[in-house]
Amino acid sequence: MRRFSLFNATSLTFGFAFLYLPMVILIIYSFNASQLVTVWAGFSTRWYGELLRDQEFLDAAWVTLRVAVFSSTIATVLGTMAATVIVRAGRFKGRTLFSGMIYAPLVMPEVITGLSLLLLFIGIGLDRGILTVVLAHTTFSMCYVSVVVSSRLATFDTALEEAALDLGCSPFEAFRLVTLPIIAPAVISGWLLAFTLSLDDLVIASFTTGPSATTLPIKIFSAVRLGVSPQINALSTILIAFVAVGVIAASLATKRAAVRADKDARAAERAAG
Amino acid sequence: MNQTVFAPWDDPDEKPLIQFRNVTKRFGDFTAIDDLTLDIYAQEFFALLGPSGCGKTTMMRMLAGFETPTEGNILLSGQDIAPIPPNKRAVNMMFQSYALFPHLSVRDNIAFGLRRESKDKAKIDERVEEMLRLTRLTKFAGRKPHQISGGQRQRVALARSLAKAPKLLLLDEPLGALDRKLREETQFELMDIQEKTGTTFVIVTHDQEEAMTVASRVAVMDEGKLIQVATPDVIYEAPNSVYVADFIGDVNIVEGRASQTGDKVDVAWAEGQPPIHATTQKRFDRDAQCYFAIRPEKVHISKERDDSRPNVLQGKVIDIAYLGNISTYHVRLADGTMMKAQSANTRRLANRGITWEDEVWLSFTDTAGVMLAR
Amino acid sequence: MRRFALIAVPYLWLLALFLVPFLIVLKISLSDITLSIPPYSPKLDLSAGWAGFVEFIRALDFENYVFLTQDDLYWKAYLSSLWIAFVSTLITLAVGYPIAYGMARAAPEWRPTLLMLVILPFWTSFLIRVYAWMGILANEGLLNQTLLALGIIDSPLQILNTTAAVQIGIVYTYLPFMILPIYATLEKMDESLLEAAEDLGCSRLSAFWLVTFPLSRGGIIAGCFLVFIPAIGEFVIPSLLGGSDTLMIGKVLWEEFFSNRDWPVASAVAIILLAILIIPIVLFQRNEQKEREAGT
């Protein structure tokens, strides 16, 4: 506390203002009655109404949601497997290549990932659409999932799995009954991360999709290239609200879990005394 | 011999429960277990004692099935267990960290192993209740592991590993996480439970007091080898080497040259000092290097010369460690050798006569110490 | 058997959808543009066996790479991407460090909330966060309106569609990547070190320069790479905030591919971009390794 000076307070205030003001402004202007986005003409929910009547946006939203659900679910399964391989499988032939392929997509520019996948899909004659976008999103988000899950697995006490084996579990049962329930929070955050990455992705989806499957970011991008639009403001507000509610709920849940853990620790002390 | 004494290792007709036969275990270049042979009998409480890295944990993990021997075999009831995976062995283990499943209640932790082999819910419940009673955990059955104290966690781990009524229970430093007072209580509890269930216990520990207290036999290990396997009293009173004598308890070790006549040995150990008179069953060559080991409590200390014992040495008190019930005196002999003597504080402080810088006499009988060749 | 399946499934997936596509890019970058239809010349004819393979290799050439060096659009784009990423990284550091410092010195009960506030934008759409600046930076946008109203300027500044706007966009969107690693190192730091420094005669400011700053170096380096590396290949920010004169290689690649439909050249651009990225990526990995070793 002693070092929490005026300087710190100022830098935090300005820092968070910088982070949040643009979004706040966006939200405010989404309620602007005027067509002209820079002139305030009174409060209105008109753009929300127009947005909800715009079939193209609704279709794009539906495509995006399906892609995100499928790709994040497959990515979570594959990513958890990959994490288990990296943390547990020990040495095997081609291990270096494997971990390289897990980490490379994290630093690969999206334009390159998109380009290479598109060339593959064309090469094997796969029609571009929802399927190809799901494949593309699964590939890069499984790497993120694997990083999240493997950092949890690395601190996992292997004695727990050994105890399960010792008590009669097969290796697979030990994973299902002991490891998975314990690492579940990491697996869930991996899924959420994959889901968000898929929802957000513009570049890779642009490369790998066909005319039948326009995702929401592609739709937004083609709309805003021409300039600011009040409809997009409304859409952005809805998306920001979703994320904010989600993140705040998650952090409240963590906080409650921490409080409960604290109470448990005190209960354990009493039990000892 | 009294029939009730439990000593199957002395009975040539008794079949061992576990046999290590020339077992070697290597991890890369490192040899953890070096050509080791050992028998453990049913219903024993067997302690593997040694410093960290001596191979005791590796032995236990080979019994549990988490490691396989590089050479040699391990037999359980006469059957080689190498091909049997850990989940199929009638061996259970209590882990050093307890390895309680954090997402399961105390009851579910104890029932975990039972549920793997049986579907009979009533039977499982009955067994779990029995284990809860045995370990006095009935009140805490619904709690999660992080909601109970360290001592209770230790008992859950014990109950969980005992629930399947294994032929053999392995305990890896079971009391290491407990504080001293709780540890002592728990040691007696462990012995009690071992007796009640009749299970064979193998305990790994680096705490010599713990091994001495609980075990029927103790194996002292160093660098992958067994140094001595014997009952606690033999280990303490008749160690077979300087290593064992030094590892267990406090000891004075005097190096010297032997000259033997029958079972009497004189040890010449310092210029201008009388030789130490000792008794031994072993043979020492004339002038062979030897070690005389004597426990401090077997050395009598007094201000007056006491010729009732055959060995008498003079020295000066350098330091006194007052431990309440006993005091240890650090005495410097005329040639500079330090020797420790212990005496019980049967009288109150003010009445004890010996203090720093006092000239004192140390004396001991010729059977008080042991003669060691190495 | 199970272990085999566990390894094989993700392994094959990554081979098929990461490594193979990458090799295709490599191959196409060395091919001639015949028509805008794959598979391009040369073609690998597996039925011709070894002779076919030799034929395939012989027909590969560096024509596309040579083309990249001849047209100055490309090397200018590479240089300008590096420069924009570099400048933006420094600005992000200057903006992010005080925030990370303030967070690390805030009361412990506030830290989780502050941390959440930094992470929250990361979960919101990148595209929307970039878009939010379009309305602010436009000629008739909020920033110009405010500055005009305050009388600081007489006529609107041209910010949108300039390199400056791209840099603002990068700083804004990547700021959390800078704050988090620096915060992590500062938060770990033992405060008694500063007390020790002051006890030994440092002023607060010199204690900061001699103790705090060097100890947070690992976090600073990590944060800089986390901003610098993705910023080089950025596409969304230059295409929404930048103008026609803002050259960034991600955008060039996109246009080469979608507008000019010259896939071999687009592939060559991608390969060179990767080659450039390898250096900072290796340096970043090495820094992480060092940090991990220091941590244990």
Q: How far apart are CA A144 and CA A132, in angstroms?
A: 19
Residue B22 confidence (pLDDT): 94
Residue B352 confidence (pLDDT): 61
Gap from C230 CA to chain A (nearest CA, Å) = 6
Instruction: Give the pTM.
Output: 0.84
Gap from A21 CA to chain C (nearest CA, Å) = 9
**pLDDT above 50 (res B1):** no
* The length of chain B, given as a count of residues: 374
Matching residue, tokens 């999660």: B144
Q: What would the DSSP string read from start to end of B229-298?
A: EE-HHHHHHS-SSHHHHHHSS--EEEEEEEEEETTEEEEE-STTSPPEEEE-SS---TT-EEEEEE-GGG
Q: Does C192 touch chain A (CB under 8 A)?
A: no
Residues 205-224 of C with CB under 8 A from A: none
Mutate to test the interface with B, among A156, A157, A166, A270 (most CBs of B within 10 A): A166
**pLDDT above 70 (res B84):** yes
Helix (H, G, I), strand (E, B) or coil at B313: strand
The CATH number of domain A62-239 is 1.10.3720.10: yes
Q: Output the CA torsion sign for B11, B17, B20, B25.
A: negative
Pick the residue from chain C with its C-alpha nearest to A104.
Answer: C18
- C-alpha pair distances (Å), C255 with each of A38, A123, A224, C261: 31, 21, 18, 8
**Residues of chain C neighbouring A108 (CB-CB closer than 8 A):** 274
Of B51 and C33, the structure prediction assigns the larger pLDDT to B51
Among C28, C33, C30, C55, which Cα is nearest to C44's?
Answer: C55
Q: What radius of gyration, in Å, describes the C-alpha atoms of chain C? A: 24
Provide the residue type at C175 as one letter: L
Give the pLDDT confidence of C139-159 residue by residue, as tens digits.
Answer: 888 888 888 888 888 888 888
**Residues of chain C neighbouring A255 (CB-CB closer than 8 A):** 112
Q: In what order do the strands lie in the sheet with B289-294?
A: B276-279, B264-268, B252-261, B289-294, B370-372
**Closest residue to B146, CB basis, from A167, A177, A268:** A268
> Could you tell me the pLDDT band of residue A256, with boundaries at 50, 70 and 90?
confident
Summary mean pLDDT of chain B: 89
**Closest residue to A160, CB basis, from B91, B101, B151:** B101
Mutate to test the interface with A, among B93, B118, B202 (most CBs of A within 10 A): B93
In this prediction, residues B96-123 reach a mean pLDDT of: 92
CB pairs under 8 A between A and C: 230
Residue C33 confidence (pLDDT): 67
**Residues of chain A neighbouring B146 (CB-CB closer than 8 A):** 261, 264-265, 268
Q: What angle do CA B250, B257, B310 make, to 5 degrees?
A: 65
Q: How far apart are CA C205 and CA C211, in angstroms?
A: 10
In this prediction, residues A33-48 reach a mean pLDDT of: 80
Gap from C17 CA to chain A (nearest CA, Å) = 7
> Could you tell me the pLDDT band of residue C166, with boundaries at 50, 70 and 90?
very high
Q: Does C243 touch chain A (CB under 8 A)?
A: no
Span of B128-132, B223-227, C206-210, C271-275 with lowest mean pLDDT? C206-210
Give the pLDDT confidence of B301-331 residue by residue, as tens digits.
Answer: 988 888 889 899 999 999 998 888 888 999 9
Q: Does C3 touch chain A (CB under 8 A)?
A: yes
**C and B touch per CB criterion (3+ pairs under 8 A):** no
Summary mean pLDDT of chain A: 89
Residue A1 confidence (pLDDT): 41
**C and A touch per CB criterion (3+ pairs under 8 A):** yes
> Could you tell me the pLDDT band of residue A2, with boundaries at 50, 70 and 90?
very low
Q: How far apart are CA C248 and CA C235, in angstroms?
A: 8
Among B37, B162, B186, B60, which Cα is nearest to B112's?
Answer: B162
Gap from B101 CA to chain A (nearest CA, Å) = 7
> Could you tell me the pLDDT band of residue A218, with boundaries at 50, 70 and 90?
very high
Helix (H, G, I), strand (E, B) or coil at C162: coil
Delineate the domains of chain B, giving CATH numbers in brackets. 8-245 (3.40.50.300), 250-372 (2.40.50.140)
Residue A58 confidence (pLDDT): 92
Contact C239/A243, CB-based, under 8 Å? no
Q: Does C28 touch chain A (CB under 8 A)?
A: yes
Mutate to test the interface with C, among A26, A116, A224 (most CBs of C within 10 A): A116
**Closest residue to C38, CB basis, from A98, A123, A199:** A123
**Residues of chain A neighbouring C78 (CB-CB closer than 8 A):** none
Contact B101/A167, CB-based, under 8 Å? no
**Residues of chain B neighbouring A271 (CB-CB closer than 8 A):** 140, 147-149, 152
Q: Are residues B238 and B370 in contact, defined by beta-carbon separation less than 8 angstroms?
A: yes
Residue B2 confidence (pLDDT): 46
Query: What is the ipTM, given to two decimal places?
Result: 0.89
Give the pLDDT confidence of B146-194 residue by residue, as tens digits.
Answer: 999 988 999 999 999 999 999 899 999 988 878 888 888 888 888 988 9
Gap from A271 CA to chain C (nearest CA, Å) = 28
* The length of chain A, given as a count of residues: 273
Mutate to test the interface with A, among C1, C92, C97, C134 (most CBs of A within 10 A): C134
**Closest residue to A84, CB basis, from C6, C106, C281:** C6
> Could you tell me the pLDDT band of residue C98, with boundaries at 50, 70 and 90?
very high
**Residues of chain A neighbouring C2 (CB-CB closer than 8 A):** 171-172
User: DSSP E strands: which ranges in chain B?
Assistant: 18-27, 30-40, 45-49, 71-76, 79-80, 91-94, 168-172, 200-205, 217-222, 225-230, 252-261, 264-268, 276-279, 289-294, 300-302, 311-322, 326-333, 338-344, 359-364, 370-372
Among A80, A78, A40, which Cα is nearest to A185's?
Answer: A80
Partners of chain B (3+ Cβ pairs below 8 A): A
Helix (H, G, I), strand (E, B) or coil at A232: helix
CB pairs under 8 A between A and B: 80
Q: How far apart are CA A20 and CA A18, in angstroms?
A: 6
Percent of chain B beyond pLDDT 70? 98
Cα dihedral C244→C250→C253→C256 (10° resolution): -20
**Closest residue to C6, CB basis, from A81, A199, A220:** A81
Contact B140/A271, CB-based, under 8 Å? yes
Q: Output the CA torsion sign for B186, B187, B192, B197.
A: positive
Summary mean pLDDT of chain C: 86
In the Cβ-directed half-sphere of B305, how many Cα atoms lie within 13 Å? 6
Mutate to test the interface with B, among A157, A158, A160, A167 (most CBs of B within 10 A): A167
**pLDDT above 60 (res A60):** yes
Alpha helices in A108-229 (DSSP H): 110-123, 130-154, 158-166, 171-174, 180-200, 203-208, 216-224
**Closest residue to A8, CB basis, from C105, C129, C239:** C105
In this prediction, residues A162-183 reach a mean pLDDT of: 92
Pick the residue from chain B with its C-alpha nearest to A170.
Answer: B87
In this prediction, residues B39-60 reach a mean pLDDT of: 92
Contact C131/A105, CB-based, under 8 Å? no
Which residues are registered as beta bridge partners of B328? B321, B342
Q: How far apart are CA A97 and CA A82, in angstroms?
A: 13
Matching residue, tokens 């659900």: A69
Residue B104 confidence (pLDDT): 93
**pLDDT above 80 (res C19):** yes
**pLDDT above 50 (res B219):** yes
Delineate the domains of chain C, giving CATH numbers in brackets. 68-295 (1.10.3720.10)
Partners of chain C (3+ Cβ pairs below 8 A): A
Residue C181 confidence (pLDDT): 94
Gap from B113 CA to chain A (nearest CA, Å) = 4
